[in-house]
């Protein structure tokens, strides 16, 4: 049985409406059933379409739901598109989304009121709807609707604990920083329309591919603007500041929105527009550089964070940088591959950290954890698998995707970017094992009272963890490197249709490397990861962090700078926030209160003054009026006669 | 000159005199009904002027217009008297100097 494409996003939308309108009255069991159930049904609905597509491949399917905007030569339809790229995204968005909804039932059950619980699931369903619209859209405008929708849900869910000021502030920060990116996307969209006269994906890309020379000059600007949008949504330097703060939301939200799905929308968008980007090599270069800088920058910050979720947040920023690095050097398949594997292991890591926080009743500081490996066996094991996957240990998923990115960068002859990527891989292994050592190894450092409360999470939380850990382990096999055989990289073959050959100036998306070089690259990335792991394990698990303290004491200024995230937030505060607040204050006190209100009040005052005098003419006596009448007519007559 | 020998100037003079009397009454009287009668007087002054011109110019239309005016004046009288009755119920007076609710 197959369903129409629009059903897939419509199901979470229905869940959203039900939870929003009836959730408070019908209570938690109903909300759980509707919230997770609608996404479960959407997952099933999606797979009825995906299974035939994934097995057989085939031409892209475009289903027009309704005409939307038609004005002159501008027309946009509400139409959805299922091709290799959107199929890949939908497959893990629905599935991971479903797992996280199930997990949320356990995570949110304790401390929330019925109203809060319903609100949470309503927003989460709305998010899934927007995300599915984003990936299934067949034109830029509909994609933008989903793009804004996920931004809105992100804002709503970051500020879920709105009574805490920092959560409300973090929500606003995320929204405002995203708006900067969205503005770029919007301008890029205008650029696309002015170049191609349409916003339809097929039409734009086929025009660009057919006649590359015609659009080349404007395309660089358009691509850079689109990339600004991607930078906002995917938290790339210098717009990365919102993502770490977004951890103020509930942990499942961090897992779903701020690790697995929404933040990868930027990578998805760049890959979707690969035809345009391939025609604008300068823009590609910018993408690669920004990606590499973000990757290493965030990885360095992650080393010195003590909040378990902050480490994971910076790790996410860093991995997103990796994905853009891949896109920037033309290794789009590697980028999407990393999106896929990252969704599994980072969701698993966040959910695992959620289980830890849940067990410790909200404690997030790793300095007050330790020794939890024995107490939370399921969480520990799944977390370890996901960590190894992220660190890039074969044969887990992260190894293959990270290796394909590094291979792609190396093949494109970007030596500096390659070494940045390799160092980042080592740093990633280091900070992740620092996290694991501090959390799970050694002795518990919290109070004995807290220690007594430590308990393993309920099955609704552990089952998703196990499934995600399993996927983190095996997902890499869809994209084996070429040394394992000509057709080993099934993902590349599957995604091939979305990279059409471009006219005469075809850009190579991947150079074939000799097998020995590939083996060497793999060896290098594994070696770097193992070194990182061993150092972290030695420092934090075996010697309880003392070497790290010595290292920090040797460079106190540097350590503080990293710990304070290079003071980017403070810099923005001085550069943008304060001047803006000052400007707003001037506009308020001077322009609004003094000038606008002043003019208005002066007008009212004059009218009142005139009225004060003129009101004496209104005697209420009809005969006075009649007399005035007479005098008026006499005056008129005199004027007429004299004229 | 009208067909029956009265000069048009005399008719207009009579009309003007009637009108002035009516106007003076409307402005000076305090009793609402007197004012009302004065207004009727002014209307009839207008009627007289129309009739004078109509007969001097041998026009039938003018005389028909006067019939309409008389019919409307009758309707107006009914409405006006109803207003006065309602006013009297409300204020116990029809002295227009005392009816000044709309004063500032």
A270 pLDDT exceeds 90?
yes
- Eight-class DSSP state of A365: B
From first CA to last CA, the distance across chain A in angstroms is 93
Is A216 part of a structural domain of the chain? no
A&B contacts, CB < 8 Å: 30
Is A205 part of a structural domain of the chain? no
Residues A73 and A148 in one domain: yes
The two tokens of residue A434 are 């620092």
A74 pLDDT exceeds 60?
yes
CA of B21: how far to CAs of A463, A585, B41, in Å? Answer: 105, 71, 8
Query: Chain A: residue nearest B20 by CA?
Result: A630
The answer to whether the CB atoms of A619 and B26 lie below 8 A apart is no
Provide the sign of the torsion angle of the four alpha carbons A524, A525, A526, A527, taken in this order. positive
Question: Residue for token digits 């606008």?
Answer: A596
Residues A580 and A493 in one domain: no
Residues A587 and A625 in one domain: yes
Q: How far is A612 from chain B (nearest CA, A)?
A: 10
The answer to whether the CB atoms of A620 and B101 lie below 8 A apart is yes
Is A194 part of a structural domain of the chain? no
Is A227 part of a structural domain of the chain? no
Query: A292: closest CA among A409, A387, A431?
Result: A409
Q: State mean pLDDT over A346-370.
A: 88
Q: State mean pLDDT over B20-39.
A: 90
Residues A363 and A464 in one domain: yes
Residues A530 and A418 in one domain: yes
**Reported pTM:** 0.80
Write the pLDDT tens digit of every residue in A420-451: 999 999 999 999 999 999 898 888 887 887 78
**In the Cβ-directed half-sphere of A420, how many Cα atoms lie within 13 Å?**
24
Query: Chain A: residue nearest B26 by CA?
Result: A623
- In this structure, the dihedral spanned by the alpha carbons of residues A386, A387, A389 and A394, taken in order and rounded to 10 degrees, is -130
Residues A559 and A575 in one domain: no
Whether the Cβ atoms of residue B51 and residue B63 lie closer than 8 Å to each other: yes
Domain that includes residue A2, residue range:
1-180+235-272
Is A211 part of a structural domain of the chain? no
Is A431 part of a structural domain of the chain? yes
Q: How far apart are CA B57 and CA A640, in angstroms?
A: 26
Q: Read off the pLDDT band of A604 (50, 70, 90).
A: very high
Query: A127: closest CA among A135, A115, A117, A138?
Result: A135
SS3 per residue for A127-172? HHHHHHHHHHECEHHHHHHHHHHHHHHHHHHHCCCCCCHHHHHHHH
Q: How far is B91 from chain A (nearest CA, A)?
A: 15
A505 pLDDT exceeds 50?
no
Q: State mean pLDDT over A603-624.
A: 87
| Residue with more model confidence, A345 or A560 | A345
The answer to whether the CB atoms of B103 and A616 lie below 8 A apart is no
| Residue with more model confidence, A53 or A35 | A35
Residues A168 and A290 in one domain: no
Per-residue pLDDT, A504: 46
Q: Which domains does chain B have, with CATH numbers?
A: 8-91 (1.10.287.3510)
| Residue with more model confidence, A185 or B97 | A185
> A618 — contact with chain B (CB < 8 Å)?
yes
Backbone torsion region of residue A570, taken as left when φ is above 0, otherwise alpha when ψ lies between -120 and 50, otherwise beta? alpha
Its ipTM equals 0.76
Q: Cβ contacts (< 8 Å) between A623 and chain B: which residues? A: 26-28, 35, 96-97
Query: Chain A: residue nearest B100 by CA?
Result: A620
Q: State mean pLDDT over A552-573.
A: 85
Whether the Cβ atoms of residue A256 and residue A124 lie closer than 8 Å to each other: yes
Write the pLDDT tens digit of every residue in A140-162: 999 999 999 999 999 999 999 88
Write the pLDDT tens digit of every residue in A455-502: 888 888 899 999 999 999 988 888 888 777 666 778 888 888 888 877
Q: Which of A244, A272, A300 is the last residue of a domain?
A: A272
Of A602-606, A614-618, A636-640, the range with the lowest mean pLDDT is A614-618
Angle, CA of A342, A344 and A349, to the nearest 5°: 90
Question: Residue for token digits 């408070």?
Answer: A24
Q: How far apart are CA A302 and CA A310, in angstroms?
A: 7
Is A536 part of a structural domain of the chain? yes
Q: State mean pLDDT over A378-394.
A: 92
Residues A538 and A611 in one domain: no
> B26 — contact with chain A (CB < 8 Å)?
yes
Is A619 part of a structural domain of the chain? yes
Per-residue pLDDT, B104: 61
């Amino acid at each position: 049985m197959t369903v129409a494409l629009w059903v897939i996003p419509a199901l979470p939308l229905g869940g959203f409406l039900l939870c929003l309108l009836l959730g408070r009255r019908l209570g938690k069991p109903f909300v759980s059933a509707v919230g997770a159930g609608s996404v479960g049904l959407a997952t099933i609905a999606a797979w009825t379409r995906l299974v035939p597509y994934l097995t057989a491949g085939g031409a892209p399917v475009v289903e027009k739901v309704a005409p939307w905007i038609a004005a002159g030569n501008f027309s946009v339809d509400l139409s959805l598109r299922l091709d290799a790229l959107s199929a890949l995204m939908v497959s893990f968005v629905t599935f991971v989304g479903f797992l996280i909804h199930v997990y949320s039932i356990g995570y949110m059950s304790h401390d929330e009121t019925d109203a809060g619980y319903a609100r949470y699931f309503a927003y989460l369903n709305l998010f899934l709807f927007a995300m599915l619209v984003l990936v299934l859209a067949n034109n830029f405008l509909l994609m933008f609707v989903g793009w804004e929708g996920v931004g809105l849900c992100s804002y709503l869910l970051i500020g879920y604990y709105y009574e805490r000021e920092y959560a409300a502030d973090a929500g606003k920060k995320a929204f405002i920083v995203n708006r900067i990116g969205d503005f770029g996307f919007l301008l890029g969209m205008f650029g696309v329309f002015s170049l191609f006269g349409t916003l339809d994906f097929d039409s734009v890309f086929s025009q660009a591919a057919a006649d590359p020379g015609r659009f080349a000059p404007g395309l660089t600007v358009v691509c850079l603007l689109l990339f600004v949008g991607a930078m906002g949504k995917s938290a790339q330097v210098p717009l990365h500041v919102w993502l770490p703060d977004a951890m103020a939301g509930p942990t499942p939200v961090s897992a779903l929105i701020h690790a697995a799905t929404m933040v990868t929308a930027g990578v998805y968008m760049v890959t979707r527009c690969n035809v345009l980007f391939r025609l604008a090599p300068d823009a590609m270069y910018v993408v690669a550089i920004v990606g590499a800088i973000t990757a290493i920058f965030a990885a360095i910050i992650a080393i010195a964070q003590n909040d378990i979720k902050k480490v994971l947040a910076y790790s996410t920023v860093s991995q997103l940088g990796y994905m853009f690095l891949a896109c920037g050097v033309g290794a789009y398949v590697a980028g999407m591959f990393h999106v896929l594997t990252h969704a599994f292991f980072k969701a698993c890591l966040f959910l695992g950290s959620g289980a830890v926080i849940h067990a410790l009743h909200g404690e997030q500081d790793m300095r007050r954890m330790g020794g939890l490996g024995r107490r939370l066996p399921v969480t520990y094991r799944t977390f370890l698998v996901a960590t190894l996957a992220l660190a890039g240990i074969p044969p887990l998923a992260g190894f293959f995707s990270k290796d394909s990115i590094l291979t792609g960068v190396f093949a494109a002859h970007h030596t500096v970017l390659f070494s940045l990527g390799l160092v980042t891989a080592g740093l990633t292994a280091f900070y992740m094992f620092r996290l694991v050592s501090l959390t799970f190894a050694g002795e518990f450092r919290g109070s004995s009272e807290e220690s007594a409360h430590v308990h393993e999470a309920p099955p609704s939380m552990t089952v998703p963890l196990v499934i995600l850990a399993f996927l983190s382990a095996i997902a890499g096999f869809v994209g084996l490197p070429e040394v394992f055989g000509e057709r080993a990289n099934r993902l590349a073959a599957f995604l091939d249709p979305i990279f059409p050959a471009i006219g005469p100036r075809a850009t190579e998306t991947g150079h074939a490397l000799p097998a020995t070089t590939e083996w060497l690259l793999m060896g290098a990335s594994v070696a770097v990861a193992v070194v990182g792991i061993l150092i972290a394990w030695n420092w934090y698990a075996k010697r309880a962090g003392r070497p790290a303290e010595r290292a920090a004491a040797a460079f106190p200024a540097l350590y503080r700078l990293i710990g304070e995230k290079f003071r980017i937030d403070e810099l923005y505060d001085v550069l943008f926030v304060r001047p803006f607040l000052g400007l707003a204050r001037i506009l308020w006190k001077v322009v609004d209160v003094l000038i606008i209100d002043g003019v208005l009040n002066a007008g009212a005052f004059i009218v009142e003054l005139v009225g004060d005098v003129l009101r004496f003419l209104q005697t209420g006596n009809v005969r006075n009026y009649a007399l005035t009448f007479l005098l008026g007519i006499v005056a008129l007559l005199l004027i007429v006669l004299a004229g | 000159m009208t067909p029956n020998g009265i000069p048009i100037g005399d008719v207009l003079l009579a009309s003007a005199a009637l009108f002035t009397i009516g106007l003076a009454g409307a402005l000076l009287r305090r009793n609402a009904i007197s004012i009302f009668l004065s207004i009727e007087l002014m209307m009839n002054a207008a009627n007289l002027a129309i009739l004078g011109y109509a007969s001097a110019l041998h026009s039938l239309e003018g005389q028909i217009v006067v019939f309409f005016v008389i019919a409307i004046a009758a309707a107006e009288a009914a409405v006006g008297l109803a207003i006065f009755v309602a006013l009297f119920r409300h204020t116990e007076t029809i002295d227009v100097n005392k009816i000044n609710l709309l004063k500032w």
